[in-house]
Structure 1
């Protein structure tokens, strides 16, 4: 999902870079067998296997069988590579594309939330990276667009819509999928389902209040 970085980091995102993501160099000079997609995929695998704390460009180079300096032909910094890996991981979630004949916005929110919960189980490093890096890549934006569409269907506008969007984002990146006890452990399925029901009930209450307020006007 889309989240903004701290102001000091706002200009450093790979997604805000002007021009190519990596420096342009002559193809004949680039290390054989590497490309940015392969490096990003290897980064995701390494983060899944060993975690964020152990990740380094040197460790990644060893995994790929190249020198660490070879990686910098394709990414400018470690920061850029972690952003690319973050968005690549988010691309693994199937998003609800729109209301089907029997779908309601709560159905689609449940699908979105459960899909993100599974993504976090597969890639537990996604949340800590989302906190410290701008999460504004194409897959993050697609996730947010899916969330915005279901909020459209909920009928919320103004402050109510802003609050609902914030509540869903905070739920997904914190207490809902992984629990609120500070352990980082996956919340039990029943607890997650109950918390999601409470979140949806709160949005429905706001939707009803907005409808009532509009009818009084």
Structure 2
């Protein structure tokens, strides 16, 4: 997991935390000019500029011109802030609108996958955070829903659908972590496209096998 070292204890996602409607402390004590959205946007900029390994709450506070303690009015931990930044970055991904048709889901999947690959190139820290944290923010869920719609169009159900979804999710995140060849370098576009075509062919074969067995079983 690419995060700061902490004790081995269960940690809830920021998306599952219940925050009070107002801080327990007096509002007059809250730092002026800050809010969670501004802090999250600054986090994304800092991660883009300096990378995940150099990120710290102290460095972020300096970027915003506030004290590090001021940030804790809006987030409880560094982990929470990284989760917020991750989902904010995913919000830049253009998703296909509406359900896909049976004949065009492969092309839609290629567009979505290449868009995700481009996002990982723009924000290299997104892939390790996607592997480290639960992807349950609103933009992550929207991306997952788009994948699910494409699998609907492919005609997969049950364990075949579950396996295809897992393979696609791991492939897309893994391509940002260490390239298709595992070399630690970004795989060439042609290699990425070939690997994606293999995945799509596997999904098509699985869907065709299901359709064939269903037709065989029909009186």
**TM > 0.5:** yes
Judging changes above 3 Å, is the alpha-carbon distance between structure 1 residues 151 and 24 closer, same or farther for their aligned structure 2 residues?
farther
Give yes or no for contact 2:109–2:150 (8 Å, CA) kept in 1. Answer: yes
Aligned to 1:165: 165
Residue ranges of structure 2 left out of the alignment (5+ in a row): 1-7
Deviation at 1:149, TM superposition (A): 0.7
Higher relative contact order (CA 8 A, sep 6+): 1
Q: Which residue of 2 aligns with 1:46?
A: 46
Separation of aligned partners in 2, 1:112 and 1:188 = 17
Matched, 1:146 2:146: yes
Cα gap change, 1:23/1:206 in structure 2, threshold over 3 Å: closer, same or farther? farther
Alpha carbon RMSD of aligned pairs, Å?
2.2
**Contact 1:22–1:73, Cα closer than 8 Å, also in 2:** no
CA distance in 1, matches of 2:146, 2:22: 30
Residue aligning to 2:73: 73
Gaps of 5+ in 1: 1-6
Question: Is the alpha carbon distance of 1:23 and 1:78 closer, same or farther for their aligned partners in structure 2, counting shifts above 3 Å?
Answer: farther
C-alpha offsets along residues 93-121 of structure 1, whole Å, 9 cap, x if unaligned?
Answer: 00011257897111111111011000000
Q: Note the C-alpha offset of 1:189.
A: 1.0
Alignment of 1:62-211 (within 5 A): 62-99=62-99, 104-175=104-175, 178-211=178-211
TM-score, reference length from structure 1: 0.89
CA distance in 2, matches of 1:216, 1:47: 55
**C-alpha distance in structure 2 between counterparts of 1:85 and 1:176, whole Å:** 17
Q: Which deviates more from structure 2 when the two are superposed, residues 48-57 or residues 23-32?
A: 23-32
CA offsets, 1:103-144, max 9 Å, x none? 711111111101100000011111111122222100000000
